[in-house]
Structure 1
Amino acid sequence: MTRVGRCWMAALGLSLLTAACGSDDASIEGGKVTPIRRAPALENEFTPRELETTIDNLVAEINKSSTESMQMTVMLKTLSTFFAPIATGANRAMGELGVTGNVIGPIQEPGDQQEDMRLQNEQIEQTVMDGAQGIGISPFGDASVAVLDKAIAKGVHVVTLDSDLQASKRAIYVGTLNSSAGAKAGETLRGMLPPAPGTVVIHGSSDPTWADGLDRTQGAQGVLEAAGYEVLVRQVTWGDEGEADDVEWMKDKIEAADPPVVGLLGMFNLSFRCAMAADAAGKPDLPIVAFDFDARTVDYMREGRIKATHIQRQYYEGYLVPYILYGIRSIGIEATKEILAPQLIDGSLFNLGIDVVPGDKVDAYNAFLDSIGANE
């Protein structure tokens, strides 16, 4: 193991998941890769058929080429919690492709961002030195732009996921487009509200330093304000210690707002605090819509208190990245983008979309996640 590798492991608890050096479905013969054969998608009401069709189209075009084998690495901010299904998807895709590759990242949650960025940059450099021809990365921040651009200048293909680095020369970003995801959540709640006027409380973010959170919140806010509702945004307070403050603020608005509060919308995994606030205000019948699939959110959904939630497609985020990297190497960036066009925004942003899960579909959605190995 190199010095950089030891530093990464010692500081962040690096875990190298199973290297995908061939599989039952793909093998290397004479330096060439045999046709890719994907495992068939399970038919389910939550299966994103539009994504499946795009992947199938990409595979069909790749199979017309005679690309040699490829080495790639997918770098994640962590291998646990939210990122665990991403790792599952990436490993499965690399196995189907028959590439030499791995998924790397710290086991524990990220800590000091500056240190995390420094160590990730060292790992990028080491990965390039080790011969990687493709990198999928969930970057910690803009400090990785220069080191990634240096890798790209050497011919390494780079795709970002979860967090983007638009200032870099990365080829494509794969993930949730937060503005459209927020708008979708706003539309879900709007369909449950009485006609305007009325006030909607959003448990979201107004922090301009966190673009993703702000974009998601403003996407929802724009939909609701366009429909004639007043919108009050509570800046989420992270951590257990912030729960009481969030609930108290929203409770006060429910009790005092004019026009009266007619619904609540949570934008992140702490959405269940909206239900706590409505209960505290004595308004348990207010419609509430959430984001993510936190266990407490699920409990409120089972009780009929949270009417629906919106979930990012982490598994497909991880699954698509190796296929896109392989496509760029095999058929070129422009041909790859042409195939990705149904979900490609502004030429380089691949919009995964989100799953809308009604309150009475919790068990069905859990079964879907289990079927693809995507439960956190």
Structure 2
Amino acid sequence: MNRKTIIYIILSVCLFISISFSIYYYTQAEHYDQQIDEVTEPDSSLPAYHFVLIGEEMDHDYWRLVGEGAKDTEEKYDVFVEYEGPRRSNPEEQLELLDIAIKSDVDGIIVQALSDDFLPLINKAVREGIPVITIDTDAPESTRASYIGTDNYEAGKLAGETLVKDTNGEATIGIITGSFTNAHHQLRVQGFREIISREEGIEVVAIEESNITRVTAEEKAYQMLKEYPNIDALYGTSALDGIGMAQATASLNLTNDDLYLIAFDTLPENVELMKQGKIDVLIEQKPYEMGYRSIELMLDVMEGLPVEDAYNTDVNVVRIEDIIKKSEGL
């Protein structure tokens, strides 16, 4: 084998090795680029929208139903719903959660606006491009897109009309309200007072605040009944007020023949008290519907569809006969 042939073989081997390495590194580079793309490209499996719902109280059957309604929309719509709230009613903590949601740059916020303190943060969210819907308690003077929930003034009027009818316009009333400062409780008292003020035979002799706890509602109702033994009707503006009032009347050995009780929400404990004859009437709201429809409303806002200023969910008067019919499937 001559020298020229050897050189040719060596050059051929070098060329083959060079081509092989080029192919190997090209393949590795392609594989690496594919990994980078998988990491950096948006995950198509992620929901289109991330919404935050901030309720009043996580440890409350009413707000659990609101949260369930909102979360159940995830099965139908391309959304992730983050349900947040204080364990116990705490407006300051709600404001902190609202601020966190804004800083997290979520796609939309649904919040219960308990007072005017919520206005600045709601307006800030809207300025930063995050639409806001109020739920259960409105902030009409803010720049929120819409409100969904009970018309609390009308609900108070309905309670007043029911009491007037059931007592034939003759009653001495004590009121236990969840809060003197929370807007929805204020409205329920105002609507109630508007109706009963038309009746000469009806008088409100006392009003106390329960801070939306059954223990305080019981204490205040007990003290009220001791101080004003002529009270023959109690009106509570929250579900826990109804429970507390019923416990207070039981402690004083009073029956529904002695005292007429009307309160809010058909939660299981209230329904059981009604079955026992300890609560006469419940004003039923639609918390599950509020939660579910709030997400549908937010989706309309996100898609630029026209929305109304407020959407009021139904309220109904519920008596023991309604509970019996429902349990019998009638």
Using structure 1 for the length normalisation, give the TM-score: 0.63
Q: Which has the higher relative contact order, 1 or 2, with Cα contacts under 8 A spaced 6 or more apart?
A: 1
Relative distance call for 1:79 and 1:236 in structure 2 (3 A) is closer
The one-character-per-residue Cα deviations of 1:245-273 (angstroms, maximum 9, x if unpaired) are 42231244243xxxxx5533322222244
Q: Which residue of 2 aligns with 1:311?
A: 284
Matching of residues 1-376 of structure 1 within 5 Å: 70-81=49-60, 82-97=62-77, 99-106=78-85, 108-111=87-90, 113-128=91-106, 132=107, 134-139=108-113, 141-194=115-168, 196=169, 198-205=170-177, 209-228=181-200, 229-238=202-211, 239=213, 240=215, 243-255=218-230, 261=231, 263-269=233-239, 270-276=241-247, 280=252, 282=254, 284-285=256-257, 286-293=259-266, 296-333=269-306, 336-337=307-308, 348-362=309-323
1:234/1:250 contact within 8 Å kept: no
Kindly report the root-mean-square deviation, in angstroms, between the aligned alpha carbons of the 2 structures: 3.2
Q: Distance in 1 between matches of 2:247 and 2:93?
A: 36
Matched letter for residue 195 of structure 2: V
SS at match of 1:289: strand
Relative distance call for 1:127 and 1:86 in structure 2 (3 A) is farther
1:94/1:100 contact within 8 Å kept: yes
Q: Distance in 1 between matches of 2:166 and 2:218?
A: 26
1:176/1:352 contact within 8 Å kept: yes
Matched letter for residue 213 of structure 1: H
The one-character-per-residue Cα deviations of 1:282-331 (angstroms, maximum 9, x if unpaired) are 56414332222455533331123422211221101101111111122335
SS at match of 2:158: helix
SS at match of 1:114: helix
Using structure 2 for the length normalisation, give the TM-score: 0.71
Relative distance call for 1:302 and 1:158 in structure 2 (3 A) is same
Relative distance call for 1:102 and 1:247 in structure 2 (3 A) is same
Percent same amino acid at aligned positions? 21
Structure 1 position 176, deviation (Å): 1.6
2:176/2:217 contact within 8 Å kept: no
Q: Which runs of 5+ in 2 are unaligned?
A: 1-44
Structure 1 position 207, deviation (Å): 6.5
Structure 1 position 193, deviation (Å): 1.2
2:176/2:208 contact within 8 Å kept: yes
Q: How many residues of Structure 1 are paired with residues of Structure 2 in the alignment?
A: 278
